[in-house]
């Protein structure tokens, strides 16, 4: 008799382990492919519901058969985890899936016990789901285990009431089931929380590294702009001292507000960015006179927020390296257009000397020995912020066109 009980117990454990392996495969699939994009994938809850629903169907299709109408499986594990991590919608979907499957199997005592167990336990699980979402790692594990034990006791009680068996007899049958369920939920919840914590830390480190690199790129541009602007003013001091004084005061007044970047996430408006460009152009026009022509083509809300210092360095490059490399000078066209799909398009175009394809590739490559900032710097910043860089079209003797699109940030609110 003892050997028969041991053999039966081993077979029950083997069947439960098979179900557990299937659950683990699907849960790990979710973790590997979707957990890092948690909250950013609009189909996340749907995918989670499908994977956990598939886990339930596989468990119910491979049950531990105790008698012709008495089967036990580990559906509680995907049901509980799916509800806690997926929310009300996922929980209700999984419950409906379980009931429909039992109806397909046939109307028997198993259907009644399943329905009664879900009707009693699921409202409690759904109630605690919001507490689970807000809890820390340790509390989440505790909530999951408490709910599992509660569900198991409700299930045992339902079988006892509907089948008319003795409570101890039912408890003995479900003892192995409860032990495996508790260990499994403890393992999966702990693993899931550990993975989420590692991903959060990794994302935080990546964000800090990105902010540090953006700050470094900005720190390059600020003195670079001031150095060139002050050089231009200095060139006017001997011939046109009054003009140099006016430009210095205008530049000082603007920079007092334009360079207040105390926070890494600071943004400026299109209007402020164009004011900076115009301040720089006024200085250069005072120096180069009729050789420099500038045209503006702006059709965008001036209060849209954009990253600071993304136009001035490009305009500076167009003037210094594109137009002033030849005696006749030329024209720079600055275009800012807002598209209907919440995208702002920027174009800086000149009809200067242009450059070869080899030269264009060369200036876009990182080179710590180069003292210039320009195209590569702006391209790096846009890549870090939006995942896209600038595009450059150029031909020798024809000119250069630099363009890029960025999503329009929320418009700055004015008034009270």
What ranges do the domains of the chain cover? 2-204, 291-407
Task: Domain 291-407: give its CATH code.
Answer: 3.30.565.10
CA angle 350, 377, 262 (to 5 degrees): 115
Q: State how far Cα 200 lies from the chain centre.
A: 11
Per-position b or e across 104-121, b if 16+ CB within 10 A of its CB: ebeeeebbbbbbbbbeeb
Bridge partners of 71, per DSSP, are 65
Contact 99, 58 (CB under 8 A): no
What b/e readout covers 136-170, taking b as 16+ CB neighbours within 10 angstroms? eeeebbebbbebbeebbebbbbbbbebeeeeeeeb
* Model pTM score: 0.52
Grouping H, G, I as helix, E, B as strand and the rest as coil, residue 144 is helix
CA distance 410 to 293: 33
Given this structure, which CATH class describes domain 2-204?
A: mainly alpha
Written as one string, the DSSP assignment of 222-269 is HHHHHHHHHHHHHHHTTT-HHHHHHHHHHHHHHHHHHT---STT--EE
Q: What pLDDT tens digit does each residue of the chain (416 aa) get?
A: 455 555 555 655 665 666 666 666 666 666 656 555 555 555 677 877 888 888 888 888 877 766 666 677 888 888 998 898 888 889 999 999 999 988 888 888 888 888 999 999 999 999 999 898 888 888 988 999 999 999 988 988 888 888 777 777 667 667 777 887 888 888 878 877 777 777 777 766 666 666 665 565 555 555 666 776 777 788 778 877 887 887 787 677 656 655 554 544 577 889 888 888 887 888 778 777 888 999 999 999 888 888 887 888 888 888 888 888 777 889 999 999 998 768 899 999 999 888 888 887 777 765 544 444 567 778 877 887 788 888 899 888 889 999 999 888 655 444 43
Q: What is the pLDDT of residue 162?
A: 85
Cα first-last separation, the chain = 84
Cα-Cα-Cα-Cα torsion 318, 320, 321, 327, nearest 10 degrees, comes to: 110
């Amino acid at each position: 008799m003892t050997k028969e009980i041991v053999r039966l117990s081993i077979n029950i454990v083997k069947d439960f382990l098979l179900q557990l392996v299937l659950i683990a495969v699907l849960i790990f699939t979710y973790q590997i492919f979707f957990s890092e994009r948690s909250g950013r994938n609009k189909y996340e809850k749907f995918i989670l519901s499908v994977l956990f629903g598939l886990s339930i169907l596989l468990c119910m299709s491979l049950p531990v058969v105790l008698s012709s109408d008495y089967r036990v499986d580990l559906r509680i594990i995907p049901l509980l985890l799916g509800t806690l991590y997926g929310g009300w919608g996922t929980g209700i979907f999984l419950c409906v899936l379980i009931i429909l499957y039992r109806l397909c199997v046939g109307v028997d005592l198993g259907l009644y016990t399943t329905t009664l167990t879900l009707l009693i336990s699921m409202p409690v699980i759904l109630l605690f789901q919001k507490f689970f979402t807000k809890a820390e790692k340790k509390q989440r594990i505790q909530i999951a285990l408490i709910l599992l034990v509660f569900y198991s006791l409700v299930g045992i009680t339902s079988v006892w009431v509907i089948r008319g068996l003795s409570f101890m007899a039912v408890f003995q049958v479900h003892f192995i089931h409860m032990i495996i369920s508790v260990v499994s939920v403890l393992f999966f919840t702990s693993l899931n929380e550990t993975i989420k914590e590692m991903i959060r830390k990794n994302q935080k480190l990546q964000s800090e590294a990105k902010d540090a690199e953006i700050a470094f790129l900005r720190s390059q541009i600020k003195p670079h702009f001031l150095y060139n602007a002050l050089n231009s003013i200095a060139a006017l001091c001997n011939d046109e001292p009054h003009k140099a004084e006016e430009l210095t005061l205008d530049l000082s007044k603007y920079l007092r507000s334009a360079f207040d970047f105390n926070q890494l996430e600071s943004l400026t408006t299109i209007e402020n960015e164009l004011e900076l460009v115009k301040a720089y152009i006024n200085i250069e026009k005072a120096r180069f006179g009729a050789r420099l022509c500038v045209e503006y083509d702006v059709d965008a809300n001036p209060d849209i927020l954009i990253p600071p210092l993304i136009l001035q360095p490009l305009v500076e490059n167009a003037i210094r390296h594109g137009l002033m490399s030849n005696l006749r000078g030329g024209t720079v066209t600055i275009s800012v257009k807002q598209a209907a799909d919440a995208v702002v398009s920027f174009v800086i175009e000149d009809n200067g000397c242009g450059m070869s394809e080899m030269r264009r590739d060369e200036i876009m490559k990182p080179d710590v020995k180069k003292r210039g900032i320009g195209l590569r710097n702006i391209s790096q910043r846009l890549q870090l912020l939006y995942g896209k860089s600038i595009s450059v079209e150029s031909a020798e003797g024809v000119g250069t066109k630099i363009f890029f699109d960025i999503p329009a940030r929320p418009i700055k609110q004015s008034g009270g």
